[in-house]
Amino acid sequence: MASFNFAAWPPQLTPEQLEALTLAATTYALSHGLLYLPPSQSPSNTQPRIPTTAIHAPLSLIPAPFPRAQFQAARGLQSVYNVLYARVAMDTQFLDTVMGAEEGVGKADEFTGTLWRGWKKIREHGVVQPLHLGLFRSDYMLHAAEDRLALKQVEFNTISSSFGPLSERAAAMHRNILASTSYFSASPHLIADNFPENNTTSGLAEGLAKAHEAYGVRNARILFVVQPNERNVFDQRWLEYELLEKYISISPIIHRLTQHDRHQIHVVRQTLADLAVSACLDPSTHALTITTPSLTNPSPYEISTIYFRASYTPSDFPSPSYYDTRFLLERSRAIKCPSLPLQLAGGKKVQEALTRPGVLERFLSHEGATWDTRALDLTAHAADIRATWMGMWALNSEDADIAAVLDHLPISGQGQENIPPGTRLARIKAPSLVLKPQREGGGNNVYREAIPAFLDALPAEEREAWIAMEMIETPRGVSGYLVRASPSSSGTDNGSTEKKVVRAEVISELGFFGYALFGEGEVVEREMGWLVRTKGTESNEGGVAAGFSVLDSVVLV
């Protein structure tokens, strides 16, 4: 790894080679379901109910270089992170303090506060389903510091951790290009041993199947709660097909199928608006049933597991009735992925709170644990976990350590007596920081030079909703070939390589997936795959669905 020159990546290609690789990549993607729905051409931005066209997902022609040691380190930490966030979700007092609307971030952030208040009301009436399912993703970048590369966590996702199936297909695409072209022997690093396997689809489906099994009703179905006009439908459909084709439901046991077995774990897809009409809760058993349109009579289906690919952003709740529907689902006996406490556990404020002295160690310990005193003691991993974190703090922090840092800086505190030390330090260190709110989905953060003006405009009562985090400084000079599908509104596209492929200086982000089923006894969990998203250095954000980056994979160096 020490001899690898990131600034010399990617290897040089002739125009003819670049065209051949682009053809290989795009045709593989279109042939193997590495797809998106195209942007809507309607004024209302709606997608057709029955799609007739698809485009390949944005992708990278050559995989991103990533040190083998850091890749393996991230993989090894995923099980620890799975258990950590399971335990956070089961610590009601901690979540009330950090994320609640009475003494936590929910006071300043209305969306978080509304979710927390709904959860609190459900707790007061009695939670009927003790089990939670998490399909997690822990995202990392390489941090170049002191002549070495360190693995640093961007965030930990507990809701709608997307692109597992499509990332598996992106990795398969790169392996296929390697097999068919050898990448024209352009680099000695582009060999099969450096292209790790990625089986995310089966792992995510396994987590959903285990929750379905734990529910224990043979003919129940899994509910996917989706956003209207979703373009990233194929990423979700691959999970649906995996459940239908590879598992058989025989209460109370789920069997992986052989080639000749029949298969039946069915999925129902509904938006929150659909569920406002179709969902019904049995008043005595709390079983959730969904009535779907039928060619004959409406068919009610009992739901075993609710997988949320929506409800993570305020725009998913255009009116209070949408929250009512979300809370109805939470009150049901179905296993939620995630439950409200697990969704709250994924907040940026929790990420920051875990960095405080002793907090991580308490969650990794089993002594006096509210989750299960028989649980494994994982405190031996605390140093490795902490080593993945950048410095971070709350904007409203009055922490003595932050105040001490300010005291040693050659600046004047005159006129800032009423401004919290956390905000003052964020202003001073703005060129090396990102500010993060309690939001998912991309496009929400404030970066570097934009921070001072943002702090000037931020009302004092909203500071509690934000954290400051040191920027991860990735290796400089790394480039990539980025391929986007850009169908024109006129429908004309000459398909030229020059228009389709852009060589740009890039930053890559590695995410590892894991699942955890927990709430009664031990945490059932495992790591099960990874993704890479690559973006141009001019973009601060990293969301593929939000249009900032492309799907990629890794070449281990």
* Separation of alpha carbons 156 and 159, rounded Å: 10
The answer to whether residues 333 and 288 touch, using CB atoms and an 8 Å cutoff, is yes
Task: Reply yes or no on whether the pLDDT at 263 is more than 60.
Answer: no
Task: Reply yes or no on whether the pLDDT at 27 is more than 90.
Answer: yes
Q: Predicted confidence band at 371 (pLDDT cuts at 50, 70, 90)?
A: low
Q: What are 376-389's pLDDT values in tens digits?
A: 899 999 999 999 99
Task: Reply yes or no on whether the pLDDT at 547 is more than 80.
Answer: no
The answer to whether residues 434 and 448 touch, using CB atoms and an 8 Å cutoff, is yes
Q: What are 216-236's pLDDT values in tens digits?
A: 998 999 999 999 999 999 999
Q: Catalytic amino acids? A: 137, 155, 157, 162, 348, 436, 440-441, 533
pLDDT of 541? 59
- φ, ψ at 420 (rounded to 5°): -60, 145
Sign of CA dihedral 40, 44, 46, 49: negative
Q: Predicted confidence band at 496 (pLDDT cuts at 50, 70, 90)?
A: low
Mean pLDDT of 446-457: 96
Count of beta carbons in the 10 Å neighbourhood of residue 52? 7
Mean pLDDT of 15-39: 96
What are the respective helix, strand and coil percentages of the chain, to the nearest 5? 40, 25, 40
The answer to whether residues 79 and 527 touch, using CB atoms and an 8 Å cutoff, is yes
Task: Reply yes or no on whether the pLDDT at 466 is more than 80.
Answer: yes
Mean pLDDT of 122-151: 95
Q: Predicted confidence band at 296 (pLDDT cuts at 50, 70, 90)?
A: low
Higher pLDDT, 492 or 29: 29
Q: What are 297-351's pLDDT values in tens digits?
A: 677 999 999 999 999 999 999 999 999 999 999 999 999 999 999 999 999 999 9
Query: What six digits make up the tokens of 344?
Result: 């709250």
pTM of the entire predicted model:
0.93
Task: Reply yes or no on whether the pLDDT at 270 is more than 80.
Answer: yes
Is residue 121 within a helix (H) or strand (E), and if so which, with residue range?
helix 110-125
Q: What are 504-517's pLDDT values in tens digits?
A: 999 999 999 999 99
pLDDT of 412? 59
* Separation of alpha carbons 434 and 523, rounded Å: 33
What's the distance, CA 341 to chain centroid?
17
* Separation of alpha carbons 418 and 460, rounded Å: 10
* Separation of alpha carbons 112 and 119, rounded Å: 11
* Separation of alpha carbons 165 and 199, rounded Å: 8
Task: Reply yes or no on whether the pLDDT at 100 is more than 50.
Answer: yes
Percentage of the chain modeled with pLDDT above 70: 89
CA distances from 159 to 32, 138, 236, 328, 345 (A): 26, 12, 14, 18, 10
Mean pLDDT of 126-138: 98
Q: Predicted confidence band at 260 (pLDDT cuts at 50, 70, 90)?
A: very low
pLDDT of 49? 86
Q: Predicted confidence band at 486 (pLDDT cuts at 50, 70, 90)?
A: low
pLDDT of 403? 85
Burial of 295 (0-12, 13-18, 19+ CB in 10 A): exposed
* Separation of alpha carbons 1 and 428, rounded Å: 35
Average model confidence (pLDDT) for the chain?
91
Is residue 344 within a helix (H) or strand (E), and if so which, with residue range?
helix 340-345
Strand pairing report for 299-308 and 392-394: unpaired
Task: Reply yes or no on whether the pLDDT at 494 is more than 60.
Answer: no
Q: What are 400-429's pLDDT values in tens digits?
A: 889 888 888 877 555 666 899 999 999 999
CA dihedral in degrees (472, 477, 483, 489; nearest 10)? Answer: 80
What's the distance, CA 389 to chain centroid?
17
Q: What are 49-90's pLDDT values in tens digits?
A: 899 999 999 999 999 999 999 999 999 999 999 999 999 999
pLDDT of 3? 74
pLDDT of 262? 47
* Separation of alpha carbons 310 and 319, rounded Å: 15
The answer to whether residues 136 and 516 touch, using CB atoms and an 8 Å cutoff, is yes
The answer to whether residues 173 and 28 touch, using CB atoms and an 8 Å cutoff, is yes
**CA angle in degrees (0–180, nearest 5) for 307-56-506:** 90
Question: How big is the chain, counted in residues?
Answer: 557
Count of beta carbons in the 10 Å neighbourhood of residue 455? 20
Task: Reply yes or no on whether the pLDDT at 259 is more than 50.
Answer: no
What DSSP letter does each residue of 187-243 carry, written as one string?
A: -TT-SGGGS----HHHHHHHHHHHHHHHH--TT-EEEEE--TT-S-HHHHHHHHHHH
pLDDT of 261? 47
SS (H, E, C) 518-535: ECCCCCEEEEEEEEEEEE
